[in-house]
Amino acid sequence: MSDKPFPIPDDVASIEPDDLYERLDAGDSFGVVDTRAPADVDDWRIDGDSVVFANVPYYQFLDGVPESALEELPEARPLYTVCAKGLSSKFVADVLDEAGVDDVVAVEDGMEGWERVLASTELSADTDATVVQFYRPSSGCLSYLVVSDGEAIVVDPLQAFAEEYVAAAEERGAELVAALDTHVHADHISGVRTLAAEYGIDAVVPDAADERGIEYDEAYDTIADEETITVGDVAVEAVHSPGHTSGMTSYLVDDAVLLTGDGLFVESVARPDLEDGDEGAPEAARQLYDTLQDRILALPETTLVAPGHVSDSAEQAADGSFTDTLGSIAAAMPALSRDRESFVEFVLADMPPRPDNYEAIIATNLGQQPLDDDTAAELERGPNNCAATTDAMTGQ
């Protein structure tokens, strides 16, 4: 018996979060019943085109299965129950099973388990390097491993998955030699310092980001605009891309793949208000416009854009990654064809809420406060919200 106001069965059918993601990624149809309170579900849940979703809080089942709750259940099967930690969802799965609802399966460890899922895909790109995109479905965060001739670097690593990046390099016969950030992140805890401290990997931050006042305990290097890092046989060039932040820097891999961080997404553009707030957002948006027009769109149309985040509205490329060519993005995103002031007005008009805990996350990533893994995980929960708007793709 648990200290919760309900029994937690040991024999309820369950599925590991990684296995659930594989089903989601394959496009399998299924139902999800989220048993958390509605306020916890609105912005952060397991969802997708093939998912039939319902939020039926666990407390509706404390005295059995009311007819109203049965009517809310998705008809799709299997029916996966999920909660915060995997406790109330097991209780609900057991109650539903006892009531004769078929094929009900609880998600192990709930949303805490879901946030530990990290998927990976090798990009189909015109480069001698192997570029691996890592995708965290709970937040939409993307990070990258670049491998060439026995060496590897990781770009925008998440602290929670430091071990996975090292293992991924080893699986490809490479030694992870450096960890780079594109900017001071506002939505997740960077893994650059962790990789430096625990694995002896060189930490690298953009020179312009360092000017914000980074205070790492670990030694780190900086990289300036147009400087390169050599990885095996390929060059990775820093492209200063301010707008989202003053230090935002993209990385051009082998003149073929542009790791854009939060400057340009496959379905939207960056929001400009996370460094200097509402007051500084208009000027940052103008800076973003100049970056996109003068630095990013000046590259060949065949350049593969590999962003730092993806929203629920983004579609996967043929290779399973969240990427697209620069030419395709420019053609599909009318916001990129606007004049400067019209672009600024458009970007500022429809920004979503700022990421949860963004100020604390920024302070952590500047090195101003240490965090243990549990506290870091709590800060990161929820949507990333680093794009200006998911409507930029079609906005006129």
Bridge partners of 154, per DSSP, are 145, 179
The DSSP code for 50 is T
Active site residues: 83
Provide the mean pLDDT of the chain: 93
Residue 70 structure tokens: 């049965």
Residue 265 structure tokens: 């997404």
Model confidence pLDDT, tens digit, residues 24-83: 999 999 999 999 999 999 878 999 899 999 999 999 999 989 999 999 999 999 999 999
Could you tell me where the DSSP H helices lie in the chain? Answer: 17-25, 67-72, 88-98, 110-114, 162-171, 192-199, 207-210, 277-291, 326-332, 340-349, 358-365, 373-380
Residues in the chain: 396
Model confidence pLDDT, tens digit, residues 337-349: 999 999 999 999 9
User: pLDDT band at residue 352, thresholds of 50, 70 and 90?
Assistant: confident
User: pLDDT band at residue 4, thresholds of 50, 70 and 90?
Assistant: low
> pTM for the whole thing?
0.95
List C-alpha distances in Å: 208 to 74, 192, 260, 334. Answer: 50, 17, 15, 29
pLDDT exceeds cutoff 90 at 260: yes
Average pLDDT score over residue span 180-186 = 97
What domains can you pick out in the chain, each with its CATH number? 14-114 (3.40.250.10), 119-380 (3.60.15.10)
